[in-house]
Structure 1
Amino acid sequence: MARATRVLSLLIVLLVSVHSGKARAQEVSLPAPRGYVNDFADVISPGDESMMANLAGELERVTTAQIAVVTLETTQPLVIEEFGVRLFEAWKIGQAGEDNGLLLLFALQDRKVRIETGYGLEGAVPDALADRIIRDTMVPFFRREEYSQGLLQATVQLADLVAREYGVELASLRSVPRAVPPPPSAARCGPGLLTLIFFMIMMILFGRRGGLFWLLLFGLGMGRRPGGYWYGSGMGGSKGGFSGGFGGFSGGGGFGGFGGGASGGGGATGGW
């Protein structure tokens, strides 16, 4: 009986040790905020950073809502969603009692981006709209490695949405050049568009001699449904844990610290 008790105690100790080891493995070092724009990955140009900080500063002055833009090399060993929640809660983006904060989180090596919204802004920036900003604005720029432009244009859209929710206009928006997201390259068009182009060429070549055309049409399976938007399935980059190196300039725009807000857990994630 005594031996069985010792074995059981040993198993309990081992289980606790394993659990503690996993918990320690998931501990990450969170950077301290330096402003509205925190470019730890050094991907934002000084001019774009200044415009983003000015937008965020004016937004807080006229609405009390806060936007934080953060770029990192990687969020590993955490996925970007979990890292975003932890960072949001640690920084307390938004105002206490209002929870009107918004986090735009970018991970360069992981090729991931996340929009995290506070409870108070889930109406202004619902999940579907956050997803659309990622798909239609940021990802096209990111695929061309125009990270600064993608983050700037997303910040413009997010700040404008929040300002409209409060019924105000931001004067800073007029000084930001608007850029149209680049069209997808042929390599990114997917099988649907390439198939359509192929059969348009075949129609031109064969004209009225439709027999061969329709044979090719059904033989190659024209009816396949093209794939949709790809979010990215893997977490690239280093596997060695969260990367530090929080250097570089970060824009202020009159930044006086975040105000005690909480994350609502809403938002969207995308990859490129």
Structure 2
Amino acid sequence: MTHLKIIVFTACVLFLSLAGCSTAPTGENAQAGQPGEKPGKKTASTPLPEQLAPDTFVVDTIGLIEERDRKEIEKTCAELSKERSAPIIVVTISSPSDHGGRSMSIADFAHMLYTKWGLGIPRRKGGPWNIGILLLVSRRERTARIELGSEWGARENDICAKILDRKIIPEFRKDEYSKGVREGVKAIAEMAR
């Protein structure tokens, strides 16, 4: 019986390798790159940090955010963190699958990242990080997720859904990712105040 399992397994591996299971883009995507990818932008993503350094508000692993927008986002996030101890952390990735979340939805990946980084734990600046906010952007999926700490309620969840629908995703559809993130962070900060 063990030999049969080995033969079946080997046959499956051989079939998959001969079937050309490649993740390389084909057809139109071979020349166009990933959705939302602008010429000159980084295509490879850098690894996510194991832990966030103090006062880190933007983790742009794919170079999606333009420098002027990044400065404005960091300023907005720093002000909110100082005023309310309610940090907004912005993370851009190519896809959850590039960071170990192969079968995860963006919602599951955002929750995992929020928990891994301890954003819901009171630990920095003496403030309650259970009011932390994570804005995760996935370029390949052309979507974003706002993960709120446990202290936020249904009202804030509804507001964040509207921010995604009205501020962030419409800009993504126009390939204006940096602008979408900037406008989203402004709206999230307003909600958090």
Count of aligned positions: 135
| Residue type at the aligned position of 1:147 | Y
Structure 1 or 2, whichever has the larger Rg, is 1
2:137 to 95, 102, 106: 106
1:139 to 146, 166, 169: 169
Pair 1:84-2:99 in alignment: no
Could you say what the CA RMSD is over the residues aligned between the two structures, in angstroms? 1.9
Which stretches in structure 1 are left out of the alignment for 5+ residues? 1-6, 8-28, 164-272
Q: Deviations over 1:217-257 (max 9, x none)?
A: xxxxxxxxxxxxxxxxxxxxxxxxxxxxxxxxxxxxxxxxx
3-state DSSP class of the match of 2:156? coil
Where do residues 61-72 of structure 1 align in structure 2 (5 Å cutoff)? 61-72=82-93
3-state DSSP class of the match of 1:125? helix
Corresponding residue number in structure 2 for 1:154:
184
3-state DSSP class of the match of 1:57? helix
TM-score by length of 2: 0.65
User: Take 1:124 and 1:59, find their aligned partners in 2: how far apart are those partners?
Assistant: 19
User: Take 2:189 and 2:172, find their aligned partners in 1: how far apart are those partners?
Assistant: 20
Where do residues 155-194 of structure 1 align in structure 2 (5 Å cutoff)? 155-163=185-193
CA contact (8 A) 2:131 2:150 kept: yes
| Residue type at the aligned position of 2:60 | D
How big is the shift at 1:65?
A: 0.8
CA contact (8 A) 1:71 1:106 kept: yes
User: Take 1:137 and 1:115, find their aligned partners in 2: how far apart are those partners?
Assistant: 12
How big is the shift at 1:158?
A: 0.4
User: Take 1:124 and 1:39, find their aligned partners in 2: how far apart are those partners?
Assistant: 29
Corresponding residue number in structure 1 for 2:68:
47
TM-score by length of 1: 0.47
**Relative contact order, CA 8 A, sep 6+: which one is greater?**
1
* Same amino acid, percent of matched pairs: 27
CA contact (8 A) 2:114 2:120 kept: no
Q: Once superposed, which parts of structure 1, at least 4 consecutive aligned residues long, lie more than 2 Å away?
A: 29-34, 121-124
User: Take 1:124 and 1:56, find their aligned partners in 2: how far apart are those partners?
Assistant: 21
